């Protein structure tokens, strides 16, 4: 469990702002920070990692105190078991992929983690190449692998996917979900992409001018629009078929594939892979017993 | 998805169901929901609300007379339409806004729908969802 209660005065474009946050994150939870730029998301990650100082507050991780301004406790960044991945890959240009990973090893650390990460992130073919020879998505895979070398407990991702194209973004999301589960990480992502948030997060914390304006599951935070719908599901679009002016949208809900009729105006913003909310009046469904 | 904006003018509750009357300009539209003013903060008289209904749930009638159980009857005129082999989509002018109805091609032909025709659009009370106004 991460307990995060901090205050910090920030200079923002519109003057002084007080970042005033109080939240908890469970172990192995995937949490997204969502909010306009300047709302305090990056500063939150920086305070958690120890790169920025808070004016006041406490941070405890699994009952270990990382920060307590009253008791003058402040664990230095290198002692916090945190990995931080930014939009900027920050790879060493003169080192190969493998060397970039090896450089992150702690003294005396078992080197098998390098092989494991190269395999897991599908970087074996690229391991002897230099960053300049890699695409943006490949560089970000290397940055992610390097961040995991020291086996962190907490993974911080500050818009790591915003510079890569849509297809690569979807793939990188899968890599992140995979490592999140495999290494039992507690992951905190900063993202503006609602489909991405639905796909990845257990919980969303919405920041507004330094305060938490809303938090909950992605469904709770983003789908309150249709308030009276009692028959609602979140699914993923598998296929969109056009039949004249009608569209048939094939959606995966849990393990079931369903089809929904939609109009052109509704499918305008929809793409395959998008998370969508399916809602119907509770009066429509027909219920029958299944005799086995 | 059709969307109209209005204000709640009446709420009748029985058990966990509420019949909500929404005034959309000068036309009253009713919706039934599994909520009550106790369970849902948006169920308040004078609250602005959006009513949402599917194009395929909009019944069309022309020069209709006689009794009918459908409660929501909206006087519209035909703005435009698209014809398919099986289905037709009709865009309707309703007050200062538009919404659509999708009916079968057979029904479209029987009604002999043309642009600017006056039609009554009808929607069952239990086909209307409510969405908050934000």
Structure tokens belonging to residue A250? 């094939």
Please report the pLDDT score of residue B133 as a whole number.
62
- Closest residue in chain A to residue B129, using alpha carbons only: A228
Please report the pLDDT score of residue A217 as a whole number.
86
Across chain A, mean pLDDT equals: 89
A171 and A262 co-located in one domain = no
A196 and A274 co-located in one domain = no
In a domain, A190, yes or no: yes
Three-class secondary structure assignment of B34-79: CCCCCCCCCCCCCCEEEEEECHHHCEEECCCCCCCCCCEEEEEEEE
Taking each helix axis as running N to C, give the angle between helix A136-148 and helix A166-182, from 0 to 180 degrees, rounded to the nearest 10. Answer: 10
C-alpha to C-alpha distance for A283 and B19, rounded to whole angstroms: 13
A265 and A181 co-located in one domain = no
CA neighbor of A209 nearest in space, from A71, A1, A5, A21: A21
C-alpha to C-alpha distance for A242 and A235, rounded to whole angstroms: 19
In a domain, A95, yes or no: yes
Domain stops at, among A195, A221, A247: A221
**B17 close contact with A: CB closer than 8 A:** no
Please report the pLDDT score of residue A204 as a whole number.
95
Confidence of residue B48 (pLDDT cuts 50, 70, 90): very high
**A246 close contact with B: CB closer than 8 A:** yes
- Whether the full predicted model's pTM is greater than 0.80, yes or no, is no
CATH of the domain at A236: 2.40.50.100
In a domain, A288, yes or no: no
**B31 close contact with A: CB closer than 8 A:** yes
C-alpha to C-alpha distance for A283 and A260, rounded to whole angstroms: 17
CA-based nearest distance A209→chain B, Å: 20
In the three-class reduction of DSSP (H, G, I as helix; E, B as strand; rest coil), residue B117 is classed as coil
Q: Which domain does B110 fall in, by range?
A: 2-132
A109 and A16 co-located in one domain = yes
In a domain, A266, yes or no: yes
CA-based nearest distance A259→chain B, Å: 15
A21 and A139 co-located in one domain = yes
CATH of the domain at B13: 2.40.50.100
**A285 close contact with B: CB closer than 8 A:** no
A163 and A241 co-located in one domain = no
Q: Element (H or E) spanning B111, and its range?
A: helix B105-111
A147 and A185 co-located in one domain = yes
Structure tokens belonging to residue A228? 């009276």
Percent residues over pLDDT 90 in chain A:
59
A229 and A217 co-located in one domain = no
Whether A211 and A37 have beta carbons less than 8 Å apart is answered as: no
C-alpha to C-alpha distance for B90 and A280, rounded to whole angstroms: 22
Q: Which of A27-36, A148-157, A273-282, B75-84 is least confident?
A: A273-282
Nearest to A228 among B82, B84, B129 (CB): B129
Please report the pLDDT score of residue B134 as a whole number.
54
A188 and A94 co-located in one domain = yes
pLDDT in tens, A180-219: 999 999 999 999 887 788 889 999 999 988 999 989 988 7
Q: Which domain does A268 fall in, by range?
A: 225-280
Count of structural domains within chain A: 2
**A226 close contact with B: CB closer than 8 A:** yes
pLDDT in tens, B73-132: 999 999 999 999 999 999 999 998 999 999 999 999 999 999 999 999 999 999 999 988
- DSSP per position, chain A: -EEEEEEEEEEETTEEEEEEEEEEE-TT-EEEEE--TTSSHHHHHHHHHTSS--SEEEEEETTEEEEETTTTEE--GGGS-EEEE-SS----TTS-HHHHHHHTPPTT--THHHHHHHHHTT-GGGTTS-GGGS-HHHHHHHHHHHHHTT--SEEEEESTTTTS-HHHHHHHHHHHHHHHHHTT-EEEEE---HHHHHHH-SEEEEEETTEEEEEE-HHHHH--SSTT-SEEEEEEEEEEEEETTEEEEEEEETTEEEEEEEEHHHHTT--TT-EEEEEE-TTS----PPP-
Residue B6 DSSP one-character state: E
Count of structural domains within chain B: 1
A172 and A234 co-located in one domain = no
C-alpha to C-alpha distance for B6 and B29, rounded to whole angstroms: 9
pLDDT in tens, A130-176: 999 999 889 999 999 999 999 999 999 999 888 788 788 888 999 99
For the cut 70, the answer to whether the pLDDT of residue A229 exceeds it is no
In a domain, A133, yes or no: yes
A202 and A231 co-located in one domain = no
**B129 close contact with A: CB closer than 8 A:** yes
CATH of the domain at A69: 3.40.50.300
Residues of B in contact with A265 (CB under 8 A): 1
A128 and A251 co-located in one domain = no
Q: Which of A110-119, A194-203, B5-14 is least confident?
A: A194-203
In a domain, A187, yes or no: yes
């Amino acid at each position: 469990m991460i307990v995060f209660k901090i205050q910090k005065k920030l200079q923002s474009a519109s003057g002084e702002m007080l970042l005033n946050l109080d939240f908890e994150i469970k172990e192995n939870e995937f949490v997204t920070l969502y909010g306009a730029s300047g709302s305090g998301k990056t500063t939150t990650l920086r305070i958690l990692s120890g790169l920025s100082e808070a004016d006041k507050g406490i941070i405890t991780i699994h009952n270990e105190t990382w920060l307590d301004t009253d008791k003058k406790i402040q664990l230095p960044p290198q002692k916090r078991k945190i990995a931080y991945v930014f939009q900027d890959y920050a790879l060493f240009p003169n080192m190969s992929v493998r060397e970039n990973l090896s450089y992150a090893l702690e003294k005396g650390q078992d080197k098998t983690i390098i092989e494991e990460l190269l395999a897991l992130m599908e970087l074996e073919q690229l391991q002897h190449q230099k960053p300049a020879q890699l695409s943006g998505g490949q560089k970000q895979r290397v940055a992610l692998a390097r961040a995991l070398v020291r086996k962190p407990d907490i993974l911080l991702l500050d818009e790591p996917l915003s510079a890569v194209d849509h297809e690569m973004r979807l793939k990188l999301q899968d890599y992140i979900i995979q490592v999140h589960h495999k290494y039992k990480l507690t992951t905190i992502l900063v993202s503006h992409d609602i489909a991405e948030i639905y796909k990845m997060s257990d919980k969303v914390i919405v920041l507004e001018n330094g305060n938490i304006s809303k938090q909950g599951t992605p469904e709770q935070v983003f789908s309150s629009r249709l308030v009276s719908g009692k028959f609602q599901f979140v699914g993923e679009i598998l296929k969109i078929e056009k039949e004249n002016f009608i569209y048939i949208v094939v959606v995966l809900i849990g393990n079931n594939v369903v089809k929904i009729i939609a109009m052109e105006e509704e499918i305008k913003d929809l793409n395959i892979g998008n998370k969508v909310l399916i809602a119907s009046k509770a009066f429509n469904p027909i219920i029958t017993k299944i005799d086995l | 998805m059709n969307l109209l904006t209005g204000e709640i003018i009446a709420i009748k509750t029985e058990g966990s169901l509420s019949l909500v009357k929404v005034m959309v300009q000068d036309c009253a539209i009713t919706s039934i929901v599994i909520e009550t003013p106790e369970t849902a903060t948006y169920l308040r008289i004078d609250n602005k609300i959006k009513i949402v209904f599917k194009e395929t749930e909009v019944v069309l009638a022309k020069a209709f007379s006689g009794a009918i159980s459908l409660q929501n009857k909206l006087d519209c005129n035909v703005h435009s339409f698209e014809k398919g082999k099986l289905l037709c989509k009709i865009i309707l002018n309703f007050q200062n806004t538009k919404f659509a109805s999708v009916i079968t091609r057979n029904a479209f032909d029987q009604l002999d729908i043309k642009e600017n025709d006056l039609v009554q659009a009808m929607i069952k009370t239990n086909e209307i969802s409510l969405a908050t106004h934000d």
